[in-house]
């Protein structure tokens, strides 16, 4: 095999101009995908400007899903996109928050780690950021690291990351580039794409001592030649380095569009590199599968984190949504997800019987008591009416509670999370977790990250995975109470996945003789579902749902 020529590590900083929420994460992921397809080892990093030490303590309604890495680090949902687009795991070194960096510097200062020096944001904090970027490169062996700086230019709170990036560029001038993801509005009344905000954002970035090398022009429409010329003339950025990124239906089209616009070649040329190969084949295949999928699969997702004012926020469950999509597309199906707010069962606004109109039901993770009785009632309906069911974390715990109450004769069974005095704590808390809660130690203290499990031969789970040893990502405090396992097993529940020491229940299912597809996991399989590597549990669920619609 020909050895790859070694290159000095390259860094691309992706910054946001004009406003947030225009797809910086997807842009970063897509740049990663196309560079990877050219034969480079690529890694993606993110810095979030907030003071939370990680994303674990943030309410999903406010901030969207908390994504968990193998290492157990709780991160922003963008890290999920990074892993999905690159089809590889990201090390914990790839995620930073302001809080994480500051805490580390302050802890070091308290331990006299700076040996009496005056500890300053610019130098000590910027050095800490740069050190972490190098640590990430060392860990991943990346030749090109694309680093997304959260927030928008002009904010006070991400300035320290920009400063670190500027310093890195000063030290490695040929190895660092900047890409600004900007927004170009097309105001309805004017009916024309306006470029001024972008021109101003470029200028504002230059006030930090940073000149952007490229602009990704996010807009409703594709930017035209005239406007490229205008931006180019006012900012000095070559027209070919202003890349159109109009609104599109699916985020997975973005790498293909970028590739068609020659973005990877422009980036590589900037670093004086040549593509080593040309291969977006598998990605294109996935995109075409997604486009050609026809058979509508109606899936109900019953959850708790939807309402924010008058809006429905599906952001809290992105990984679940994407996992369902991947498995469906590869099977020629197009999922139509419907969001059911569990509270509406409790208020009587919704009826359980509607659930028979779906090909399958998913109950994703969650915390606390709101909507819980609604979910338990829905699981009962799904179990009794033999509708395919996939429970994820809380979705497993609540399925166990429902089964305990209605099949194992354990009236009033509950999780101690919701009812600490329940007569039958079928879901309880492990002693080490109890101590953490008693000390109000909430940050990064759940059972987190990758844990191995062993599957029972012949079970739904073992058949889905096609193997007996698995390892999946967790994020929870509570567990199936070992004291009730016998009782539940006798009543017909199968604990088909357990921890290697047999102590913890990782998968619960019903035998196919009693239900065509009822399975739930204590872990979150959605965190490991990838477009080019759909997750076996979701695929098994989709297959069951397709069968169920055929039967109806």
**Options 367, 517, 518, 523; binder of ligand GLN; rule CB under 6 A:** 367
Active site residue 104: no
Counting contacts by CB under 6 A, is residue 476 touching ligand GLN?
yes
Least distance from C-beta 362 to ligand GLN, angstroms?
A: 12
Active site residue 118: no
- Contact, 199 vs 231, CB < 8 A? yes
| Coil vs helix vs strand at 346 | helix
Number of residues forming the site for ligand GLN (CB under 6 A): 11
* Catalytic residue (choose from 124, 148, 322, 393): 393
Q: Which one, 230 or 447, has the nearer CB to ligand GLN? A: 447
Active site residue 474: no
**45: DSSP letter:** E
421: Cβ–Cβ under 8 A, 6 or more apart, which residues?
none
CA distance linking residue 287 with residue 254, whole number of Å = 10
Least distance from C-beta 422 to ligand GLN, angstroms?
A: 15
**Options 218, 325, 383, 477; binder of ligand GLN; rule CB under 6 A:** 477
Counting contacts by CB under 6 A, is residue 414 touching ligand GLN?
no
Q: Which one, 393 or 498, has the nearer CB to ligand GLN? A: 393
Q: Which residue is nearest to ligand GLN (CB)?
A: 365
Q: Which one, 252 or 394, has the nearer CB to ligand GLN? A: 394
Q: Which one, 286 or 394, has the nearer CB to ligand GLN? A: 394
CA distance linking residue 380 with residue 398, whole number of Å = 10
CA distance linking residue 405 with residue 393, whole number of Å = 19
Least distance from C-beta 322 to ligand GLN, angstroms?
A: 17
Counting contacts by CB under 6 A, is residue 394 touching ligand GLN?
yes
Buried b (16+ CB within 10 A) or exposed e, 298-335: ebbbbbbbbeeeeeebbbbbbbbbbbbbbbbbbbebeb
Q: Which of 469, 503, 484, 513 is nearest to 405 (CA)?
A: 484
- How far from each other are the two terminal CA atoms of the chain, in whole angstroms? 54
* Catalytic residue (choose from 83, 93, 402, 526): 526
Piece of the chain touching ligand GLN by CB under 6 A; list 90-98, 202-210, 299-307, 391-399: 391-399
Q: Which one, 129 or 393, has the nearer CB to ligand GLN? A: 393
The side-by-side arrangement of strands in the sheet containing 425-429 is: 414-415, 425-429, 478-480
CA distance linking residue 255 with residue 240, whole number of Å = 17
Neighbours of 242 (CB within 10 A): 23
Counting contacts by CB under 6 A, is residue 366 touching ligand GLN?
yes
CA distance linking residue 450 with residue 165, whole number of Å = 32
Q: Which one, 40 or 367, has the nearer CB to ligand GLN? A: 367
- Contact, 462 vs 455, CB < 8 A? yes
φ, ψ at 161 (rounded to 5°) = -70, -40
φ, ψ at 152 (rounded to 5°) = -120, 150
Least distance from C-beta 328 to ligand GLN, angstroms?
A: 23
Piece of the chain touching ligand GLN by CB under 6 A; list 53-61, 127-135, 353-361, 393-401: 393-401
Least distance from C-beta 534 to ligand GLN, angstroms?
A: 21
Q: Which of 143, 147, 134, 229 is nearest to 181 (CA)?
A: 147
**Options 405, 475, 515, 535; binder of ligand GLN; rule CB under 6 A:** 475
**Options 478, 518, 541, 548; binder of ligand GLN; rule CB under 6 A:** 478
- Contact, 505 vs 497, CB < 8 A? yes
Q: Which one, 193 or 376, has the nearer CB to ligand GLN? A: 376
Least distance from C-beta 79 to ligand GLN, angstroms?
A: 17
**Options 365, 449, 497, 534; binder of ligand GLN; rule CB under 6 A:** 365
Q: Which of 371, 372, 363 is nearest to 390 (CA)?
A: 363
**447: DSSP letter:** E
Show which residues are catalytic: 393, 524, 526
The binding site for ligand GLN (CB under 6 A) comprises 365-367, 393-394, 397, 417, 475-478
């Amino acid at each position: 095999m020909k050895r790859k020529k070694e290159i000095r590590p390259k860094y691309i900083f992706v910054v946001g101009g004009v406003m947030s929420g225009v797809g910086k994460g997807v842009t970063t992921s897509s740049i990663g995908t196309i560079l990877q397809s050219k034969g480079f080892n690529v890694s993606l990093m993110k810095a979030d400007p907030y003071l939370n030490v990680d994303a674990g303590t943030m309410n999903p309604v406010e901030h969207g899903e908390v994504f968990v890495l193998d290492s157990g680090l709780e991160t922003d949902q963008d890290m999920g996109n990074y892993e999905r687009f690159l089809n590889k795991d990201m090390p914990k070194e790839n995620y930073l928050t302001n809080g994480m960096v500051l805490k580390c510097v302050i802890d070091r200062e308290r331990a006299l780690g700076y040996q009496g020096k005056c500890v300053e944001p610019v130098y000590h904090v910027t050095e800490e950021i740069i050190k972490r970027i190098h640590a990430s490169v060392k860990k991943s062996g990346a030749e090109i690291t694309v680093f997304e700086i959260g927030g928008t230019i002009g904010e006070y709170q991400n300035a320290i990351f920009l400063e670190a990036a500027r310093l890195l560029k000063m030290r490695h001038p040929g190895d660092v580039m900047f890409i600004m993801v900007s927004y170009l509005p097309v105001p309805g009344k004017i009916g024309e794409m306006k470029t001024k905000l972008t021109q101003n954002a470029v200028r504002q970035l230059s006030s930090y001592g940073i000149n952007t090398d490229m602009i990704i022009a996010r807009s409703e429409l594709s930017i035209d030649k005239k406007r490229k010329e205008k931006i180019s003339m006012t900012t000095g950025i070559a027209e070919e380095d202003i890349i159109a990124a109009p609104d599109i239906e699916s985020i997975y089209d973005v790498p293909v569009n970028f590739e068609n616009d020659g973005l990877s070649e422009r980036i590589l040329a900037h670093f004086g590199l040549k593509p080593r190969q040309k291969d977006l084949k598998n990605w294109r295949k996935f995109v075409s599968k997604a486009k050609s999928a026809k058979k509508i699969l109606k899936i109900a997702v019953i959850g708790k984190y939807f309402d924010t004012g008058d809006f429905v926020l599906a952001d809290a469950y992105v990984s679940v949504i994407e996992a369902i999509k991947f498995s469906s597309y590869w099977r020629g199906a197009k999922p139509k997800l419907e969001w059911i707010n569990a509270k509406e069962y409790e208020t009587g606004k919704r009826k359980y019987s509607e659930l028979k109109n779906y090909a399958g039901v998913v109950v994703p993770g969650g915390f606390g008591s709101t909507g819980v009785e609604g979910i338990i009632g829905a699981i009962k309906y799904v179990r009794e009416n033999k509708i395919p069911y996939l429970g994820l974390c809380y979705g497993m715990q609540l399925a166990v509670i429902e089964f305990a109450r209605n099949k194992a004769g354990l009236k009033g069974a509950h999780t101690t999370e919701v009812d600490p005095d329940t007569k039958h704590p079928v879901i309880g808390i492990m002693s080490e977790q109890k101590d953490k809660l008693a000390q109000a130690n909430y940050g990064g203290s759940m059972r987190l990250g990758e844990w191995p499990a062993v599957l029972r031969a012949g079970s739904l789970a073992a058949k889905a995975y096609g193997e007996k040893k698995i390892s999946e990502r967790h994020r929870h405090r509570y567990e199936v109470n070992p004291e009730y396992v016998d009782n539940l097993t006798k009543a017909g529940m199968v604990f088909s996945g357990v921890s290697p020491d047999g102590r913890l229940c990782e998968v619960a299912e019903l035998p196919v003789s009693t239900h065509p597809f009822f399975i739930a996991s204590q872990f979150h399989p959605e965190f490991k579902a990838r477009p080019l590597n759909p997750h076996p549990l979701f695929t098994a669920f989709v297959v069951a749902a397709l069968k169920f619609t055929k039967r109806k």
